[in-house]
Amino acid sequence: MLTTVRKATARIPRKLRLPLAGAVALAVAASGLTLAWPDEGGHLTANRAQLRRACGGLLPYGELAGRVPDAARGKLDQYGTLLQPGEESRSLLNCTLDWQGHGGVHVEAATLVNHLPYELKTEDLLAPGHEAPGVTGRDSDDEGRLWVVAECPAGLTGRARPSTQMYVSVGMDKASVRTRFRVAVEVAAGIAEREHCGSAAALRPPTRVIDTYEEHDADGGPVDSGDYGSVRVEEPGRGIGKCRWMTARSRAGSAPLRGTWTATGDLQRSRLLSVCRAERWNDDRSAYTDPQPAPLEPVTADATSWAGDLGRSAYRDYERDGEYPGFDDRPDTLTDTDATLALWARSECAAGPTYHRVSVRPNLDEATDGASRLSRTQRTQMSPHVRQLMKAYLSAPEGWPKAQHCHDTEVLGEVEQWT
């Protein structure tokens, strides 16, 4: 070997031997530096292989491969009954893949035997956020993670009992809402296919995501401090067909409550969830619409439905706050401008047992010192409003209950939501 090297060196002109030796030494030194600091790069191949395996292989590789860094080694933490069937865990999957300083993804999936860890009250479902038509779920502007709910008609095994629904939540750094929706739906579809619960084919990643509430200045740009006198608001759910029964512009011919109403609703196109709200309010005039409402007459009306285990989870949200039929510890004085009278009912619908809740908020603008003391007669006069609203909701030709073939309805009772 040494003889061969000497022969090769002998063929090199003497004046080139020293510079060449220096170049070789520099190359060796550079390779030594690479070995000394291995975390400065070179992780792309390993990270992409890890991405394929992570979270039980359920993460959508095509959606996430472009986000995998080369400069940081991925760190994976995962558990759940999907990965280890005998494990004592409430989660089907709880998985975090982190590329320190370069983003990451957290996915959690569980059956809806467990309580959905996100509020499902009407006001929460109407809060500003993002929705994807065809997907049950939302990304609220004031919450950290996006959630979706998927059906599993053949059943998923939970710790307490089987469930026909599951939720998947996704948290990602530096990712669009559309990407997070697609990751959540892909994971849900993968679980449904692996568990043979019958809904994988119906779970398709959304092609579009809609901002449910957008504010612009007069020129269409972002709203800055001082712009509020010329703010324009866009609500894509305003005037949506399934909520027109609340206004005079419905096939039913007239609104269920007196006055001129504007309706809005969610954009999920879900068979598990629907929410509508109507208001007697003119945004341009910042005043009630004509005819002006009398004291205690409804100025806001809501109608919401939740099906299956999602319904049980929503009912628990209200139950926890004492806002359910049978809880009667209420004063006779209304002091809260958001005080509402609600009515609950339960039906059998396309996706199973379903809770319906309608509510009205009365006009308290003329209340003395911000309070209105209800006489027995006044309280009695409020009941027909919610009962007429429920009747109109369940029977509206274009409404959600008719579309979901709801039947065998049982009225559960009224709830006074005021303090």
What are the pLDDT digits (tens) for 137-193?
999 887 668 999 999 998 887 656 788 999 999 999 889 999 999 999 999 999 999
Confidence of residue 378 (pLDDT cuts 50, 70, 90): confident
Phi/psi at 241 (nearest 5 deg)? Answer: -55, -40
Q: Find the helix or strand (DSSP H, E) in which 165 lies.
A: strand 162-172
pLDDT value at position 40? Answer: 57
| Token pair of 106 as six digits | 């957290």
Confidence of residue 39 (pLDDT cuts 50, 70, 90): low
Percentages helix, strand, coil for the chain (3-state, rounded to 5) are 30, 30, 40
Exposure of 379 by Cβ count < 10 A (0-12 exposed, 13-18 middle, 19+ buried)?
middle
Exposure of 217 by Cβ count < 10 A (0-12 exposed, 13-18 middle, 19+ buried)?
middle
| Token pair of 210 as six digits | 């809609």
Contact 248, 239 (CB under 8 A): no
pLDDT value at position 329? Answer: 63
For the ranges 229-238, 265-274, 334-343, the lowest mean pLDDT is seen at: 229-238
What is the residue type of 104? G
- Percent pLDDT > 70 in the chain is 80
| Cα–Cα distance measured from residue 20 to residue 27, given in angstroms and rounded to the nearest whole number | 11
Confidence of residue 15 (pLDDT cuts 50, 70, 90): very low
pLDDT value at position 3? Answer: 45
Of the two residues 163 and 313, the one the predictor is more confident about is: 313
Contacts of 368 (CB under 8 A, 6+ apart): none
**pTM confidence score:** 0.84
Per-chain mean pLDDT for the chain? 84
| Cβ neighbours, 10 Å, residue 114 | 18
Contact 232, 218 (CB under 8 A): yes
Beta strand 340-349 pairing with 273-279: unpaired
| Cα–Cα distance measured from residue 109 to residue 175, given in angstroms and rounded to the nearest whole number | 19
What is the residue type of 121? K
Query: Ramachandran region of residue 155, left (φ > 0), alpha (ψ -120 to 50) or beta?
Result: left
Contact 297, 362 (CB under 8 A): yes
DSSP H helices, 93-194, are 122-125, 177-194
Residue 91: helix, strand or coil by DSSP?
Answer: coil
- Percent pLDDT > 90 in the chain is 59
Residue 311 has pLDDT above 50, yes or no: yes
Beta strand 210-211 pairing with 214-216: unpaired
Contact 254, 224 (CB under 8 A): no
| Cα–Cα distance measured from residue 305 to residue 242, given in angstroms and rounded to the nearest whole number | 12
Of the two residues 326 and 345, the one the predictor is more confident about is: 345
Confidence of residue 17 (pLDDT cuts 50, 70, 90): very low
Confidence of residue 90 (pLDDT cuts 50, 70, 90): confident
Specify the residue for token string 């209105």. 372
Residue 1 has pLDDT above 50, yes or no: no
Residue 24 has pLDDT above 80, yes or no: no
Residue 48: helix, strand or coil by DSSP?
Answer: helix
Specify the residue for token string 């009306």. 301
End-to-end CA distance of the chain: 94
Contacts of 258 (CB under 8 A, 6+ apart): 291, 297
Residue 291: helix, strand or coil by DSSP?
Answer: coil
